[in-house]
Structure 1
């Protein structure tokens, strides 16, 4: 029997489990290592932050997928990988051997430096957007702090990162906090290290997003990189202090530190280098997909690419288990991005093309709901956060 181990329960691995559920491989034992029975779908997270859906409605039922695929689910984090020995060490210390493996563990963020060491209470509250698994408890803590604020107080909410994630998250968080505490004034600001929002997008989508940010009262600081947290704000690369009470950190994606001694080839940011087949460079039978993979040429760290990789990864894992030649995955030349603006509207960005409106928000909701429903059995809508 061939031991195939999936490390992580990202979007690409959902497709792998679906494929093996539909057509099992009789000579393959399938194991999934995931810290949770539920995995967040990144496309729906901003809607949850904006109070437009329950947390459970953003999650893929990993345990249910494993059951349908005949896979063993191990609810732990991987702590170490030895690629040469084909061995994974779990956080419990247990060791597992594999013949084939695939990594779909997402990314984490390089956290800002802290310029004040003695009084953490003076630092702004930081909500890091990655890893997604840590977002829910941190968000609940922030909401509890906001609920305890005195009436007529002011909170300055600053997002560090001018990409789609930073902008969409800021608009979602402002919408929810303002609805939650209408007696508190929430002022929004966004720091973008680039000279323009949405690097790589066309002029029209950037203009539409800028308009949405202005409508939400967000002041955009272009060409400003957030470097560190300091007393009462964020320190820029120029040494300026941007006032902040709440900081949304959505920049500086890096690979997980526990992969550093794996023996896998990684790029300068710690992501696993992969060939066009999604096989790790120089490591036959080990694959990576989604944000944790470093494709050449580099791809944006966005969930849509993990979704596009998923079916191809499933097919190549099947080929590898049968000792058949692998095939190359071809990234799409451009992808459609739908960015919620927290007010019942969304912006579409497709290369140079762009549009906005309530109809796009309804379309985004339908797309996200269909994606999650694809992998989930029906569940009780009356439960969840």
Structure 2
């Protein structure tokens, strides 16, 4: 007797779901019908974004071809994002109005940012670093605006968010803006709520990052929390003003807003609560991975950082557990890595490698990082035709 078909719906096309599609492409399962719903047929790989911002590679070189990957996995791709889900009736509603039934579903929809309030007639230009899927549109608008700046002027670029991503992004953006408008004096400031730079890294990686920021002409303000954009710059929680013409906002990660209207268990920041198997708390057959997921209870004393490396590490286990859930088989637990390798581009053709207390930097680290990122993207993409 033929087993009944199970409908598996992948909501979002993030890094973890790329591994799920790869797994089904390598080991097809005729009893599982897969549907992928995403806002685009191309998905940005977060590790390559700084190189693209710095002008070192094209946008296309940073993207996973979700359409081609879905085809290899024998799945159906619908380029319309999910906007609602009913866990009880097992159905997802898409932005185009389509309603899709599922037996098992998985979320890999990333995160967005809690943006600052704006006051005054001329607040600085805001570039939100998330959601990642639409960053290229926002970056293009800023680049066009920079073309109109008066020659010989001084422009202040402030990045709010002192994590590794905030440091790397600011250095990459400063490099590209200086290349685009060398006739302008560009000054950078990194605003960090933490009292130390990269609090989870060791002394040497922190020192190397501080040196790179200094070389890039970037001032670091510690223990300062940016709150609102007002005429002239960024208003801090201490009531001070940081001069700014352009503000990169890379802090305050929160879950996608549409999740608030669902019956899913969310934490205070709007992320979907999951257990060790990546299954949503008290919602059998529903899973979440990557930035949109939060462990309940936490796997560590502090939540996992919102970094692509964790979604990548979750991918293979998620693929196994989704397959197991479709066949009503036991699920495996995910164990987070104790330490991860962070490679931070500095915007000048160099990079810093950080793993625990170990740190080193150089041009060779940047070339190494580019090779790792290119290999990761090529793993999921069909070969380019020349």
Fold shared by both chains (TM-score > 0.5) = yes
- The one of 28, 38, 45 equivalent to 1:41 is 45
Partners of 1:82 and 1:301 in 2: how far apart? 26
Cα distance in 1, alignment partners of residues 125 and 384 from structure 2: 34
Shift of residue 300, structure 1, vs aligned partner: 0.7
Does structure 2 conserve the Cα–Cα contact (< 8 Å) formed by 1:11 and 1:41? yes
Q: CA deviation at 1:260?
A: 1.1
Q: How many pairs are equivalent?
A: 377
Q: Which moved more, 1:187-196 or 1:371-380?
A: 371-380
1:87 aligns with 2:91: yes
Match of 1:261 in 2: 261
Alignment of 1:128-143 (within 5 A): 128-143=128-143
Query: 1:63 corresponds to which residue?
Result: 67
| d(CA) in 2 for partners of 1:247, 1:304 | 26
CA drift at 1:380: 5.2
User: Hey, what's the Cα distance between the residues in 1 that align with 2:266 and 2:144?
Assistant: 39
Question: Superposition pairs for residues 361-380 of structure 1, below 5 Å?
Answer: 361-379=366-384
Q: Which residue in 2 is equivalent to 1:341? A: 346
Q: Which residue of 2 aligns with 1:314?
A: 319
Once the two structures are superposed, residues 152-200 of structure 1 have per-residue CA deviations (whole angstroms, 9 ceiling, x without a partner) of 0111000000001110000000000001111011100010000011121
Residue 114 (structure 1) aligns with: 118
Look up the SS of the partner of 2:248 in the other structure: strand
CA distance in 2, matches of 1:228, 1:175: 26
d(CA) in 2 for partners of 1:373, 1:113: 40
Q: Is the 8 A contact 1:43 1:368 kept in 2?
A: yes
Q: Residues of 2 paired with 1:268 and 1:84: CA distance?
A: 23
What's the C-alpha RMSD, in Å, of the aligned pairs?
0.9
Alignment match, 2:125:
125
250-259 or 90-99, which deviates more: 90-99
Shift, 1:115, TM fit: 2.2
Kindly report which structure 2 residues correspond to 1:13-52, keeping only aligned pairs within 5 A, or say none: 13-52=17-56
Paired with 1:76 and 1:198, the residues of 2 have a C-alpha distance of: 37
* Structure-1-length-normalised TM-score: 0.97
Looking at structure 1, the residues matched to 30 and 72 of structure 2 have their Cα atoms a distance apart, in angstroms, of 15
CA distance in 2, matches of 1:32, 1:319: 18
Cα distance in 2 for residues equivalent to 1:95 and 1:128: 31
**Structure 2 spans left out of the alignment, 5+ residues:** none
Instruction: Name 1:7's counterpart in structure 2.
Output: 11
- Partner-residue secondary structure (3-state), 1:260: helix
Q: Which runs of 5+ in 1 are unaligned?
A: none
Does the Cα contact within 8 Å between 1:208 and 1:354 map onto a contact in 2?
yes
Q: Does 1:96 align with 2:100?
A: yes
Q: Is the 8 A contact 1:82 1:261 kept in 2?
A: no
**Aligned twin of 1:172:** 172
For 2:173, what is the secondary structure of its paired residue? helix
Q: What do residues 76-116 of structure 1 show as CA deviations (whole Å, max 9, x unaligned)?
A: 01111111221111112221111000000000000001122
2:251 aligned residue: 251
Corresponding residue number in structure 2 for 1:304: 309
Please state if 1:240 is matched with 2:240.
yes
User: 2:185 maps to what in 1?
Assistant: 185
Contact in 2 for aligned 1:11/1:310 (Cα 8 Å): yes
Instruction: Report the 3-state secondary structure (helix = DSSP H, G, I; strand = E; otherwise coil) of the residue aligned with 2:367.
Output: helix
User: Equivalent residue for 2:196?
Assistant: 196
Residue 261 of structure 2 aligns to a residue whose secondary structure is coil
CA distance in 2, matches of 1:40, 1:256: 17
